Amino acid sequence: MKVSYFKLFFFTLFSIKVSAQQSQLGKTVLKDLVKEMSVEEKAKLIVGTGMPGWVGLTKLPTPPKMKVPGSAGKNCSFPQYNIPEIILADGPAGLRISPQRDNDSKKYYATAFPVATALASSWNSELVKEVGYAIGNEVKEYGVDLLLAPGMNIHRNPRNGRNFEYFSEDPLISGTMAAAYVTGVQQNGVGATLKHFAANNQESNRFGVNEHISQRALREIYLKGFEIAVKKSQPWGIMTAYNKINGVYVSEDKDLLTGILRDEWKYDGLVMTDWFGGYGSEDEVRANKVSDVATQVNAGNDWLMPGTPLQIAAVIKQTKAGILKQSKMDESTERILKIILKSPVFRNYKYSNEPDLKKHALIAKQAAAESMILLENKNSTLPIKLNSKKIALFGNTSYNFISGGTGSGDVNEAYTISLLDGLKNAHSDVDQNLAKKYVPYIKLEDSLQTARRKKEGGLSKYIRIKEMNFSDQEIEKASQENDLAVFTIGRNAGETGDRPISDFYLAEDEVVMINRISEQFHKKNKKFIIIMNIGGAIETKSWKDKADAVLLSWQPGQEAGNAVAEILAGQVNPSGKLATTFPVDYKDVPSAKSFPGTPAEKPLDSFYDEGIYLGYRYYETFKVPVSYPFGYGLSYSEFGFSGLKVVNNPEEKVIKVSFMIKNNGKAGGKEVGQIYIHASHAKLDKPDQELKAFVKTEELKSGQSSNFTLSIPYYDLASYNSATSAWELEAGDYELRLGNSSQNISQRAIFKIAQDLTILKTGNLMKPDVKFNEVKP
């Protein structure tokens, strides 16, 4: 009997040991590990551990010690299963972490790169991939595993406070640039997260607004960019948006997260909520309410972030009650574990806390310069020899350049080069009398703004500093003592609400300054240059003729002033092109009447009654004049397009396009070839033209040319028919247009589709919850 107990003891001990060995992440089949985890353990994994230093939305008086201060969240670790915690941090213009460490005088800064709207304006996906790689390196070397970037929602309306975080009004540009960014980041062995999926096109009541969007507009505009990015780059993560679409919270939308994302697009990565996604408001979080965790997880939303103890309890309760399906909980657990398996922390990577910030600053400067757009250049005002000119530098923002937007998209960089410093670095003689007045004024006003925002806490709103006032006599004196004048227009916004309509226009103090400077300097036949340091489109028609040159710098990151100076001096030939249209007036914007929804003070419903007709698709179809068209941007050189050939291959279902771009000017530079398609539209209404392919040249010297061949699959030519739930290509003649903007077409060619084709059948998903009328040509 003793022998039997002895054997039983060792058998039990051996069984426990084997079981322990089997329950190790990285050593055990994932499905087996998931089976061994209890419901309580899985609940703690699929719900985050909360925002570091907060309980819900209440800030702790003493923040806890954090592996990476300033990071956004993490998972619960399980040492018994060899499951470590992975660290998540915000982006997208660079890694957002705190530069401070307890009891450490060293600063841990990250590089501030140009904002997404700027990067898209480069039309250079290889450059964006290089930026992504640099950001990914900082993510890895600072001990972060998953970057919560890039953002890639559509520029539906210029008032959206977070447009600077997003790429374009066009889904092809958005998807291509996002894919390049993700690819660059993930080449470091860290993850990137596409956000905010989907239609997060406003900040006004972002937790509660119900966005009514037709199936066609969703498929062709608001989901298409995500589809491109998912298929091209396979991001580790996708973050769902706060809003509802057609009556359903996005984080609870099975049609979107399972039907479209996983079943149709074959995405196999992780889906997480935005922070407190699924709550109707931040007040609900403070009131200790709980999101509908069962519906979220059942829909395909794997990770509830940042997570609360009440959500964990709800997950446990609803799983045991059978409301949250055990199979769905297991799927979510497995997806999270797959990401942890790939993470640097699981691979025991020894991060250095010392990324090469000097190298990354050079990349940031290159990206900034290539993203800037020359909008006006009368009589070849630019470039100029900066070291031989005395410059009167006006405008608050010239002395306090805006590197990027506010909120979670902000970066804690070591410095931002102002335009004043950039011109000095280029050995320009800047009027010191003006500088002596501006510098203390900006210092005082900026300190007051910083104090106000710190007191208000959270995502406090940025308020534009009123332009410093100068008398006519002071400006007249400046025009006598200087060779030219520069004035910078500044705009900032962020995760604090949408821009008021007034912010789309210049304020009276700005208009007065521009008029006075223009008048005084032009009296003496001296040049006047305007720099636009902004994050989204503004009104330009009423004042752009006051200047001899207008340069759109966007919010170009920490090397801002140096990059602007390189453009002004001609060290870099501007090659940026608009990825978002600049309308003549706000009332011309197709969503002007419906944005941000009703009631205006806290919109509950927003009707996308413009349908697929937004941006250039609207302006060109409905013949609405614009100030600057989509794809537009000047150069110090001249380029020509020739040799356009189009080959239609019905067997392979692809159009092949070949052409040549030649530099016919004197200066070396880069050009963008843009291909638009005017489609047959006997059955389905269609925009006058849509961007279907583009390419940017390498640097072409004077007289040099490059040949290109691009392929456009039939799927990319097809339109979505909501009545048949299919992507269809209509029979008829199609005109292919080649140019360097949507309104500057150089060559055209016709190809024919012989018969109506159903390219792809889909599910009848995300149906509108109410009837509403969309505009038609």
Q: Which two tokens stand for residue 71?
A: 């990071």
Cα 609 to Cα 588: distance, rounded to the nearest angstrom: 14
Please tell me which residue in 90, 274, 410, 498 is annotated as part of the active site.
274
Collapse the DSSP code of 20 into the 3-class scheme (helix H, G, I; strand E, B; otherwise coil) and give the result.
helix
Annotated catalytic residue 685: no
Could you give the CA distance from residue 664 to residue 588 in angstroms, rounded to a whole number? 36
Q: Is 639 helix (H, G, I), strand (E, B) or coil?
A: strand
CA dist 626 and 585 (Å) reads 8
Cβ atoms of residues 342 and 131 within 8 Å = no
Instruction: Map tokens 């006051």 to a residue.
Output: 546
Signed CA dihedral, 476, 482, 484, 489: sign only: negative
CA distance 711 to 696: 15
Angle between helices 472-481 and 432-456 (to 10 degrees): 130
Which residues does 464 contact at the CB level (< 8 Å), separation at least 6?
A: 490, 491, 492, 503, 507
Residue 241 has what DSSP assignment?
P
Secondary structure class of 528 (helix, strand, coil): strand
Order across the sheet with 639-649: list the strands. Answer: 639-649, 654-663, 705-713
Amino acid at 632: Y
456, burial (CB in 10 Å: exposed 0-12, middle 13-18, buried 19+): exposed
How far, in Å, CA of 287 to CA of 504, rounded? 36
- The two three-digit tokens of residue 432, written as one number: 């010191």
The SS3 assignment for 62 reads: coil
- Contacts within 8 Å (CB) and 24+ apart, 245-249: 245/198, 245/199, 245/210, 245/211, 245/213, 245/218, 245/766, 246/210, 246/211, 246/212, 246/213, 246/766, 246/767, 246/768, 246/769, 247/210, 247/769, 247/770, 248/769, 249/277, 249/278, 249/292
Q: Which residues are catalytic?
A: 274
